[in-house]
Chain A
Amino acid sequence: MLERAHIMICGGTGCTSGNSKKVMEEFEVQLKKNGLRDEVKLIMTGCFGLCARGPIVAVYPDGAFYQHVKVEDVAEIVTEHILKGRRVTRLLGSERTESGEVMPINQTPFYRSQKRIVLRNCGRINPENIDEYIAFDGYKAYEKCVKEMTPEGVIQLLTDSGLRGRGGGGFPTGKKWLSTYNAKDDQKYVVCNADEGDPGAFMDRSVLEGDPHSVIEAMMIAGYAVGATQGYVYVRAEYPIAVQRLQIAIDQARAYGILGKNAMGLGHKFDMEIRLGAGAFVCGEATALIHSIEGHRGEPTQKPPHLAEHGLWGKPTVLNNVETYANIPQIILNGPQWFKSMGTEKSSGTKVFALGGKIMNTGLVEIPMGTTLRTIIEEIGGGIPNGKKFKAAQTGGPSGGCIPASLIDTPIDYDNLIAIGSMMGSGGLIVMDEDNCMVDIAKFFLEFTVDESCGKCTPCRIGNKRLYEMLDKITKGQGTMEDLDKMEELCKYIKANSLCGLGQTAPNPVLSTLKYFRDEYIAHVRDKKCPAGVCKALLNYVIDKDKCIGCGLCARKCPAGAITKSDYIAEGHKLPSMQIDVTKCLKCGACMDTCNRQCAISKK
């Protein structure tokens, strides 16, 4: 029977960890109990994006968008909404229209400025059922290429669309494919980079979890265009759901004869396999990734030769990012002009960002290129929690930089981000407020790159380590003004001399914070103060002896036994005030969190 309602439950990593699997099971139970099982379709789908309010359950065609759904809520949704047609308003989010009704989800601030192309099928289909992908025009783009277009035509179309690599560099995809097409060899390869090692990034993972066939189809198109018959997806083993769904998708495509010797009976051969990475950031770098697939140590090598001539096993190879691929079937079907109509002149289309940090709506967003940071943070992101002030946004992960609040109206595209000292990167976007210390942030990213440097070249291995040590010194209040100049010099040296992109970009977080937040560095060095109150060595917790009523709550909470009674009794108080022994204090802040009179303890 045709089902009258479709219940879509988010099966992305965020909602899964929020127990969405159990929610799904409970729907099974409740639907059966109410005799509704055959009237309703239950689907575990990909990420809806609004991870902060997960687990998400959407009901169509009504378009109800339930948030923070717990197992206990399921019975009510089934008996009230599914059975009786009454939505469970308390689970529908707080957005209301002017007339006071629940706002349709596509009109909410989170969704209305988004444009979901890469993520179009996430939250719409069951990624483990190839038929649903096919139903939404899946594998039609591939068919169109093989039946109606020459390989040159496909490449030209991509070039005309202006698609640039979403893995970070922004290299024109059509141009990349053309070089591989032009390389003459008996064997060529198509590789997909799904390593995604930036801290905080989960765009590629979500695409593989929510719509794996779009990547498979695009890789087949690449195979047809450049003359390759074999593909590999390099994905980190730490993404178990993505790996599993991709494997299911590959198996189903093979069973349908879509992948294989004679794809869809169209006379073209293409097959692919997954290669698991062990989760090293450097293995996302193109040459290191290739070596890792070959079974060698994941270390980068000098370019040129480029992968287009000398790639996997020495053969011409196309390497693209997951998100780059996921765009391609849509570009083929809708044409280059359609794609160019979105975005800016030099960056067409959309970009997916993983929005995190000090922001209300943490999650996954897809916006047209050229959207301003302000729209992303204030509208889509819902602003900063607790009424705090926006201080900076970090893009590009460990290779990127911090964008200060003064540049919040910058339209986001490849070139603008480079111009202001950051970069697009793969799409991590971390929002920071006044409580974040920019020196500490720079140190965090440097610690990451020091950890992840493969150690092959000296500038990266030793240079970044020294840079980290200087930052560490500054956060401890031991830095000098000369250190700031030395750091800048070292940054430039590392950038100019490192072997691969990891080292060449590692100093960016330091350079950009030095550029926009030099005052903060100077406060650490000269005044021995951390203005944001983060760097522990530079702050002390103090008790205002005239406000403290001497209840002793803080002393009981203090893990170091650093708080004792003093012999001072303030006027009007009965008990002596408490005091902190700075030599014992661990600066954990537990006392401040527990104080009955929050004003009595402060960070100085």
Chain B
Amino acid sequence: MKSSAELQEIRNKLRMEIGYSLPIQENDIRIVVGMGTCGIAAGAREVVRTFMDEVEKRGLEHVKVTQSGCIGKCDAEPIVEVTLPGKETVTYVHVDPAKAREIVASHIVGGKAIKNYMK
């Protein structure tokens, strides 16, 4: 039998998942990974998976990771755009899994963009 406390546990556990079954909200932080053929060839899929992993591990409910097509700067792929609510979009280039984890720690969680990884 599930007690009401256990039901609450289910709610907490699924809160993250639910976020991904709803449209993006205004106060969400957005991470957009360029996933054109060029981006994928440069390793963008692994970057997406890394972001998802970080988001889940850290329980970052209001962070949404999505993809976009090629933006025409193929030599800079994988390109990642990070938008905090009400702030200007920051574009990172040549992102790899290690940089992705740093971006989450510093920019998403800490609020400090990493200048070195920008173009």
Contacts and interface: CB of A to CB of B under 8 A. Distances in A.
Interface of A: 1-6, 8, 39, 41, 43, 60-63, 83-86, 104, 106, 124-125, 131-132, 134-140, 143, 147, 256-258, 260, 262, 264-266
Contact of B21 (A43, A131, A262): A43
Contacts of B23: 60-63, 104, 106
* Size bracket, chain B contacts: 35 or more
Interface of B: 1-4, 7, 10-11, 14-24, 28, 32-37, 39-40, 48-49, 52-53, 55-56, 64-69
Nearest to B33: A85
Contacts of B14: 131-132, 134-135
A252 to B, nearest CB: 11
Nearest to A147: B4
Nearest to A124: B21
B24 A62 contact: yes
A1 B17 contact: no
A2 B11 contact: no
A280 B7 CA distance: 39
15 contacts: A1-B49, A1-B53, A2-B16, A2-B52, A8-B21, A60-B20, A61-B21, A61-B22, A84-B36, A85-B34, A85-B69, A104-B23, A124-B21, A131-B10, A147-B4
Nearest to B5: A265
Given A86-B69, A135-B15, A264-B3, A63 B40 contact: no
B20 A41 contact: yes
Contacts of A104: 23
A2 B18 contact: no
A333 B51 CA distance: 35
Contacts of A106: 23
B53 A60 contact: no
A63 B21 CA distance: 9
A134 B8 CA distance: 8
Contacts of B66: 4, 61-62, 85
A63 B24 contact: yes
B13 to A, nearest CB: 8
Contacts of A84: 35-37, 39-40, 67, 69
Contacts of B17: 2-3, 41, 135
B69 to A, nearest CB: 4
Contacts of A63: 23-24
Contacts of B2: 256-258, 264
Contacts of B48: 4, 39
A85 B35 contact: yes
Contacts of A135: 10-11, 14-15, 17-18
Q: Max chain A CB contacts within 10 Å: which of B20, B37, B49?
A: B20
Contact of A60 (B11, B22, B39, B68): B22
A104 B48 CA distance: 24
Nearest to B54: A2
B52 A1 contact: yes
A140 B8 CA distance: 9
Given A132-B14, A256-B2, A258-B2, 12 more contacts: A39-B49, A60-B22, A60-B23, A61-B66, A63-B23, A83-B35, A83-B40, A85-B32, A86-B69, A135-B17, A143-B4, A264-B4
A85 B20 contact: no
Contacts of A6: 20-21
Contacts of A43: 21
Q: Which 5 A-B pairs have the closest CB atoms?
A: A85-B67, A257-B1, A135-B14, A2-B56, A63-B23
B20 to A, nearest CB: 5
A352 B53 CA distance: 41
Contacts of B19: 61
A52 to B, nearest CB: 22
A2 B55 contact: yes
A60 B21 contact: yes
A61 B24 contact: yes
B4 to A, nearest CB: 5
A83 B35 CA distance: 7
A8 B65 CA distance: 18
Contacts of A147: 4
